[in-house]
Amino acid sequence: MGVGIAHAFASSGHSVCLIDVSGEQLAKAQTTIAGILADGVRLGKVAQPAADAALARLTTSESVTAGAAGADLLVETVSENLAIKIDVVKKAEAVMAPTGLLATNTSALSVTEIAAACVDPTRVIGMHFFNPVQKMKLVELVRGLATTDEAVAIGRDYVAQLGKTAIVVNETPGLTTSRMSAMAGNEAMWMLQEGAATAEDIDTALRLGFNHPMGPLELGDLTGWDTRLSVLHYLHATLGDKFRPCPLIIKMVKAGRHGRKTGWGVYKYENGVKVPGSGLKGTNL
């Protein structure tokens, strides 16, 4: 997710520092962004000079305190773990511009709790993007208890600069989209576990029957089932049994089958491309 967000801001004229503790992951991120821009040039959507300029605006750092120094905006995209998110935001706040906006890309955790750990909670906001960022036009802006109208307005302006549409959500577990998406993905996994249909046919049903760009199992593979499971655990704890995680998701995560990023989830992937006919079969569950 962070890669797509960095690409979006760099392509919109912003200087961007992409931060990760792993230099290897940063190198992969730069290669991925270069590939997205190259595809845009090949398809005639981006001029070569614009693509070159976007890449030139992108730098990397393995340190939050170094990468966020003087920044006007932080968008954190670390794993859905409250302690880790708080640690990142606190480190960034200490070195950012005094009026800088602290945005969390969380899809389920509490913006208010993250903000409470900051010196100035009024400039903390949720800024929830969607995968793949370069194609998805929606961003959820999440208002915590202390988030000011000014912070929301600044967030809206950033989203508009990216050519995307913002909606404002008062903090609630799962926001709007994650709550609906988590339920759809979880139900799809229950159907797969029960043998109601093949993985391919479940995804086809949502793509063609409801005009979704991706099926719920494909989307889970893209998002990562480890992330999906964390969200479901949180929603189950806060909203009740209707969000109880399907045992198949738990089994897959324990087996390391997290989705595209590990090369195997509901489907198998080779060089990031889904292998036809590789969907989990009911007889193998």
pLDDT in tens, 102-145: 999 987 788 999 999 999 999 999 999 988 898 889 999 999 99
pLDDT number for residue 259: 95
Chain centroid, CA 26 distance in Å? 17
Encode pLDDT of 157-196 as tens digits. Answer: 999 999 999 999 999 888 898 889 999 999 999 999 999 9
pLDDT number for residue 175: 87
Cα–Cα distance measured from residue 284 to residue 282, given in angstroms and rounded to the nearest whole number: 5
Q: Is the pLDDT confidence value at 285 over 80?
A: no
Angle between helices 216-223 and 225-239 (to 10 degrees): 100
Tell me what the pLDDT averaged over the chain comes to. Answer: 94
pLDDT number for residue 103: 98
Residue in this structure with the two tokens 């995307």, named with its chain if needed: 164
**Mean pLDDT to the nearest integer, 198-219:** 95
* Residue 187: partners with Cβ closer than 8 Å, 6 or more residues away: 216
pLDDT number for residue 74: 98
Q: Is the pLDDT confidence value at 284 over 70?
A: no
Cα–Cα distance measured from residue 132 to residue 135, given in angstroms and rounded to the nearest whole number: 6
pLDDT number for residue 283: 62
Residue in this structure with the two tokens 């080779």, named with its chain if needed: 270
**Mean pLDDT to the nearest integer, 219-231:** 92
Cα–Cα distance measured from residue 171 to residue 148, given in angstroms and rounded to the nearest whole number: 13
pLDDT number for residue 79: 87
Phi-psi region of 142 (alpha: psi -120 to 50; beta: other; left: phi over 0): beta
- Choose between 154 and 283: higher pLDDT: 154
pLDDT number for residue 177: 87
Encode pLDDT of 38-67 as tens digits. Answer: 999 999 999 999 999 999 999 999 999 999
